[in-house]
Chains A and B, each alone.
Chain A
Amino acid sequence: MNSMKRDKKDEEEGGGGGLFSSLDKTTVLQEARLFNETPVNPRKCTQILTKILYLLMQGEELGTREATDTFFAMTKLFQSKDIVLRRMVYLGIKELSTVAEDVIIVTSSLTKDMTGKEDLYRAAAIRALCSITDSSMLQSIERYMKQAIVDKSPSVSSAGLVSSLHLMASSGEIIRRWVNEAQEAANSDNMLVQYHAIGLLYAVRKTDRLAVIKLVSKYTSLAVRSPFATCMLIRIACRLMEDDPDNDSTYQDFLESCLRHKSEMVIYEAAHAIVNLKRTGARELSPAVSVLQLFCSSPKATLRFAAVRTLNKVAMRQPTAVTACNLDLENLISDSNRSVATLAITTLLKTGAESSIDR
């Protein structure tokens, strides 16, 4: 089945549960010396690495010295060809990169993995590499990053885009040079790649209003397939509308068309946007409210919560617009989710009348 189970026989540890029940930092770091042995024993090393990561997740703090020693021991594991072990090493690099010193020592190993043949390594290697890179080193891997962004494997492309976004804060001017690649990725068929690409393009052009307008009009006319990306576009369009109250109604039409989208995520995003825009009048409000009204009777608690939370906002400003939903809201008073019930009651206090009290 997997590494842990097979180890039951040759270790006197109890079951899998016992393995992690009482770990002690010093002992585990001692065990990490095993990383230096050749040939690497993938099963044992994966287990030790898992223990280290588990301790870090529990909130154990490693000192600089400890972290650096562990990190350097970990670099020895690059000799192994075991997929899970290699991937765990990437995780370890990411976790320790903030504490250990001289982490750039793994740059060449990671660069080799990100340009290698194994897709399963490439995406994860890119993300690990970008967690240890600074702007001076970014120049040297720029070529590979651009290639990764337009790679045909979605996981590699996403890894490139997301890592670029993380690096925006520290090396924005280098990332700005990659917009052509990001634009190409934005035409991808993969839902998430498209979302990441549009997110990166927006982050790069945030300050340039004209460029943002272009970005939105380009992708709204293309009818983007990815629900995530569509939500992103709705958010950007709203930002444009808020900054410039008297612009034309193209974005308004876009929002209303999103109310008829296939995906609930997008419909809710659009309804929420329309409700919260300062410029929304009663006429624009009514289709959004009726969509939210439908969501009130959804079997998904999350969707009911989202709908009633948004209706609550409308009721604060325009109680009359929500009156039509009173019956649906009354049904939610006895909802199994307490947050939903509470929100329904407070909304009704704004919109209800005496007639609903005895029901």
Chain B
Amino acid sequence: MDSALFEPSLYVVKGMVIMDNDGNRLLSKYYDKKTFPSVKEQKVFEKSLFQKTVRANSEIIMLDGLICLYRSNVDLFFYIMGSAQENELMLLSVLNCLYDSVSQILRKNVEKRTLLENLDVVMLAMDEICDGGIILEADANSVVERVALRTEDIPLGEQTVAQVLQSAKEQLKWSLLK
């Protein structure tokens, strides 16, 4: 079938990548062995993807027959790939979910340094958003709930004074910035 129609399948996402501003891969998951059989193809694809998107701030691009959606902040680039037959808005919901979850996990400091400090939780979040190419969760709050951030685990009584002050500071800062 030459159908340009969307295939009725739950396998929607072909890949998720987070890169830094030199185009180095920080985190990546590829779900489609056909399109990206090995690391070599992935790296080649990432390189051209990065070159095409580093200066164009426009959210969506077609590359090698794949739809790639992206978002960047400070020194991080977030990418979601899907097939050319895919519903772009579905992919967009995945991208937004990834970005917002990471943003919540890093307490709104979406940058390379904080990402590396919280790498474990971000990995868990990526795993919660997409399972083998199927969108598992599209709501950032649910994702963050499911990865169980450490500070939330500690009841208020057992947190150190410094931790409480820290979170109070953060909240104040954000209320002022709004």
Kindly provide the distance from the CB of B150 to the nearest chain A CB, expressed in whole angstroms: 5
Decide if B116 touches A17 in the complex (CB within 8 Å). yes
Decide if B5 touches A273 in the complex (CB within 8 Å). yes
Chain B 80-128 interface residues, beta-carbon cutoff 8 Å to A = 87-93, 112-114, 116-121, 123-124, 127
Kindly provide the distance from the CB of B22 to the nearest chain A CB, expressed in whole angstroms: 12
Decide if B89 touches A306 in the complex (CB within 8 Å). yes
Decide if A3 touches B5 in the complex (CB within 8 Å). no
Decide if A301 touches B60 in the complex (CB within 8 Å). yes
CA distance A300 to B71 in the complex (A): 13
CA distance A302 to B89 in the complex (A): 7
List chain A residues, Cβ under 8 A from B69.
302
Decide if B89 touches A199 in the complex (CB within 8 Å). no
At the interface, yes or no: A177 with Cβ under 8 Å from chain B? no
Known contacts A87-B124, A235-B6, A306-B88; A19/B116 CB under 8 A = yes
Decide if B117 touches A199 in the complex (CB within 8 Å). no
At the interface, yes or no: A339 with Cβ under 8 Å from chain B? yes
Decide if A196 touches B6 in the complex (CB within 8 Å). no
List chain A residues, Cβ under 8 A from B117.
2, 4-5, 15-17
Cross-chain contact of B123 among A5, A19, A50, A203 (Cβ < 8 A): A50
Tell me the nearest residue of chain A to B7, going by C-beta.
A235
Decide if B60 touches A2 in the complex (CB within 8 Å). no
Decide if B127 touches A301 in the complex (CB within 8 Å). no
Complex interface bits, A182-212 against B, C-beta within 8 A gives 1, otherwise 0:
0000000001100110011011000000000
Cross-chain contact of A83 among B3, B8, B135, B153 (Cβ < 8 A): B153
Kindly provide the distance from the CB of B47 to the nearest chain A CB, expressed in whole angstroms: 13
At the interface, yes or no: B175 with Cβ under 8 Å from chain A? no
Cross-chain contact of A339 among B9, B25, B60, B146 (Cβ < 8 A): B60
CA distance A337 to B25 in the complex (A): 24
Complex interface bits, B39-54 against A, C-beta within 8 A gives 1, otherwise 0:
1001100000000000
Complex interface bits, A232-262 against B, C-beta within 8 A gives 1, otherwise 0:
1011101100100000000000000000000
CA distance A8 to B122 in the complex (A): 19
CA distance A292 to B127 in the complex (A): 34
Decide if A165 touches B10 in the complex (CB within 8 Å). yes
Interface centre among B29, B59, B119, B127 (most CB of A within 10 A): B119
Kindly provide the distance from the CB of B44 to the nearest chain A CB, expressed in whole angstroms: 12
Complex interface bits, B12-51 against A, C-beta within 8 A gives 1, otherwise 0:
0000000000000101110000000001001100000000
User: In the complex, which range does the number of interface residues on chain B fall in?
Assistant: 35 or more
Residues of A within 8 A of B (CB-CB), count: 76
At the interface, yes or no: B66 with Cβ under 8 Å from chain A? no
Tell me the nearest residue of chain A to B133, going by C-beta.
A166
The segment out of A28-36, A52-60, A132-140, A346-354 that lies at the interface is A52-60
Interface of A is mostly: helix
Known contacts A83-B148, A338-B58; A53/B4 CB under 8 A = no
Decide if A166 touches B89 in the complex (CB within 8 Å). no
List chain B residues, Cβ under 8 A from A159.
131, 136
Cross-chain contact of A155 among B6, B10, B113, B146 (Cβ < 8 A): B146
At the interface, yes or no: A329 with Cβ under 8 Å from chain B? no
At the interface, yes or no: A91 with Cβ under 8 Å from chain B? yes
Decide if A337 touches B116 in the complex (CB within 8 Å). no
Decide if A1 touches B166 in the complex (CB within 8 Å). yes
Cross-chain contact of A84 among B62, B121, B135 (Cβ < 8 A): B121
List chain B residues, Cβ under 8 A from A272.
5-6, 87
Decide if A162 touches B120 in the complex (CB within 8 Å). no
List chain A residues, Cβ under 8 A from B148.
83-84, 87, 120
List chain B residues, Cβ under 8 A from A154.
142
Q: Given A228-B90, A276-B3, A339-B60, 13 other A-B contacts at CB below 8 A?
A: A4-B117, A16-B117, A49-B120, A59-B39, A123-B146, A158-B136, A165-B134, A203-B9, A228-B138, A268-B88, A300-B92, A302-B60, A306-B87
8 residue pairs from A and B, CB less than 8 Å apart = A50-B120, A199-B9, A235-B7, A276-B3, A276-B4, A301-B58, A336-B57, A337-B56
B interface with A by C-beta (< 8 Å): 1, 3-10, 25, 27-29, 39, 42-43, 56-62, 69, 87-93, 112-114, 116-121, 123-124, 127, 131-132, 134-138, 142, 146-148, 150-151, 153, 163, 166
